[in-house]
Structure 1
């Protein structure tokens, strides 16, 4: 049965989703059985040695950290520091204070290479880097690829990262040339990260950013679009969590075959306008997905403004991008994966 319900086109046969069209981009996702497909180029699989591999030596760790501009001790290699948070200001930090974290836990600088030229934002660099943690590696790394990842930070620590984002956004929005701000995270080189050390980007723009404009246009053309999508995804069994006004679901219309959204349908303002408890709830919804995805290559963006509900798009990059001529294949295990994540989150 092919269905057009306001802004969403999709087809369900024998109770299962067959295809669905993204109402913003027009990309059609076809639900297919990929269990027998060989993925010879699964991303980053070659980087993780087995448990029998020896740990990196202290000298190997030292060499890797010595050339990382985001590691403690290398602060002079970055643009001037805007501000930092100490261990006392991030009580949820789980690192070893004798080895890391003696100077800072979260550090904010301008991006050396502004995403948007300064002359378009009043002569001020409105591209920022939030370094999320002083640690470069996970504990006891066995390869140079055993990097710290956001899902290991802890919920309290990540909430402080998002609160820092809001603080930086407020600074950017004091610039009258800035009309839109986005948070962008790339984890792993396969997702486009230019530095291995854990960090985010915050970008201020003189105009509403194109992806956000496209979402706002779809919402104007089809009022109630987000509520309709959430209702459909609930009926399909794709909703993973709904707590404190924050809904998380496995998205059948994401940019990648394994995508997730975190949405606050009842809040259509900016991150900086959230009350502290609501900010923590949004951060918690985002962090819980990141914790499940763990060290996988991934990206996420936080979209806000233009009348949209505050939301984040998360894309897992385990498999190579496979959009062909505006079509995408998503695995028919989508429902099973959503159920598995629900169980994992329920276990804490």
Structure 2
């Protein structure tokens, strides 16, 4: 079934109509029996696009393949429309990256080597999916039912979008505008300002970890690698290694202070249809974690204003202490 982008004529916001997603299995709470991502069930998934091998015949540490229930379609025979009911095809590619053969493993319990396997595989697949056709490769991880996870087995996802939605375009526009005005990257200047303020910093050792000034939810957390110039596809080995060292203890810290919350982890990978040297002038890939501890209510739906019941100046020290203990 064709996926289409519908545009809200009142707000200009895009919505993806993806009926295929309704067919996804819903076993986020179930045990491993019959799990299509577990070893021995490889034939239940589409053909592999990546395999990180492990010792043993046919064994693996990480696998990637096309999503059977994609958000976007590789191609679409759909006529675009304008007027009050605008629409156009939602084309691109959608992959699943299985992070471990162990059904009950989680990224917060990962060794450095395991975390590096996952990040390295995400970089490799981001490179493979990038331009010239896709405008963006979106990388994310949903943990827990409240965060949208439909399968319990640990996995990340990559969605290559042929057309970047307004939210991404706005973020990139701000970053380019800041570079035009100052000659510096916005992420760098934010990192410098956070270090100077020293109120919201969680950790700072090769990767700056902080809770942003205008946090949308309690314990929203950002990771900025010191060697993170450009997009995820162009990430350096040192940048990935630094994130691999801090990410598991950070997730353990969040689990401690929030009682193992559902969360969405997003890699702000950057545009994929712009020449790498040009992007590196104004963009730096980084990671953002949104714990799912609050819900949208009437004001949020009516205005788009997100209400955060806490202040990052109060929550960041608590998380910093938990992360330090989790290392």
State the TM-score, normalizing by the size of structure 2.
Answer: 0.70
The one of the two structures with greater contact order (alpha-carbon pairs below 8 A, sep at least 6) is 1
Hey, what's the Cα distance between the residues in 2 that align with 1:193 and 1:254? 23
Hey, what's the Cα distance between the residues in 2 that align with 1:277 and 1:264? 9
3-state SS of 2:75 partner: helix
Corresponding position: 1:259 with 2:226: no
Hey, what's the Cα distance between the residues in 1 that align with 2:322 and 2:101? 28
Query: What is the Cα deviation at residue 228 of structure 1?
Result: 4.6
3-state SS of 1:84 partner: strand
Query: When you count helix as a share of all residues, which structure comes out higher?
Result: 2
* Corresponding residue number in structure 2 for 1:312: 287
Higher Rg of the two aligned structures: 1
CA pair 125-309 structure 1, distance change in 2 beyond 3 A: closer
Contact 1:107 1:130 in 2 (8 A): yes
Hey, what's the Cα distance between the residues in 1 that align with 2:122 and 2:61? 14
Q: Deviations over 1:198-223 (max 9, x none)?
A: 10001112233543322112223444
What RMSD over aligned residues (CA atoms) do the two structures have, in Å? 2.9
* Corresponding residue number in structure 2 for 1:131: 98
Hey, what's the Cα distance between the residues in 2 that align with 1:207 and 1:285? 33
Corresponding position: 1:81 with 2:54: no
- Flag structure 2 segments of 5+ consecutive residues without an equivalent: 1-29, 77-90, 272-281
State the TM-score, normalizing by the size of structure 1.
Answer: 0.66
Larger mean CA deviation between 302-311 and 262-271 belongs to 262-271
Q: Deviations over 1:68-122 (max 9, x none)?
A: 211222222211222322334xxxxxxxx9xxx97222111111122221016xx
Contact 1:212 1:304 in 2 (8 A): no
Corresponding position: 1:239 with 2:201: yes
Hey, what's the Cα distance between the residues in 1 that align with 2:267 and 2:201? 19
Larger mean CA deviation between 235-244 and 277-286 belongs to 277-286
Corresponding position: 1:207 with 2:163: yes
* Corresponding residue number in structure 2 for 1:341: 319
Hey, what's the Cα distance between the residues in 2 that align with 1:152 and 1:134? 14
Q: Deviations over 1:323-346 (max 9, x none)?
A: 622333334463343112222333
Hey, what's the Cα distance between the residues in 1 that align with 2:290 and 2:270? 21
Corresponding position: 1:70 with 2:31: no
Contact 2:218 2:315 in 1 (8 A): no
CA pair 330-255 structure 1, distance change in 2 beyond 3 A: closer
* Corresponding residue number in structure 1 for 2:108: 151
CA pair 266-155 structure 1, distance change in 2 beyond 3 A: closer
Larger mean CA deviation between 102-111 and 197-206 belongs to 102-111
Contact 1:227 1:265 in 2 (8 A): no
Contact 2:226 2:239 in 1 (8 A): no
Contact 2:229 2:235 in 1 (8 A): no
Alignment of 1:1-348 (within 5 A): 64-88=31-55, 103-119=59-75, 126-137=93-104, 148-173=105-130, 176-223=132-179, 225-234=186-195, 235=197, 237-244=199-206, 246-264=207-225, 267-294=228-255, 295-306=260-271, 307-321=282-296, 324=300, 325-332=303-310, 334-347=312-325, 348=327
Hey, what's the Cα distance between the residues in 2 that align with 1:212 and 1:280? 26
- Flag structure 1 segments of 5+ consecutive residues without an equivalent: 1-62, 89-96, 138-147
3-state SS of 1:118 partner: coil
Contact 1:114 1:125 in 2 (8 A): no
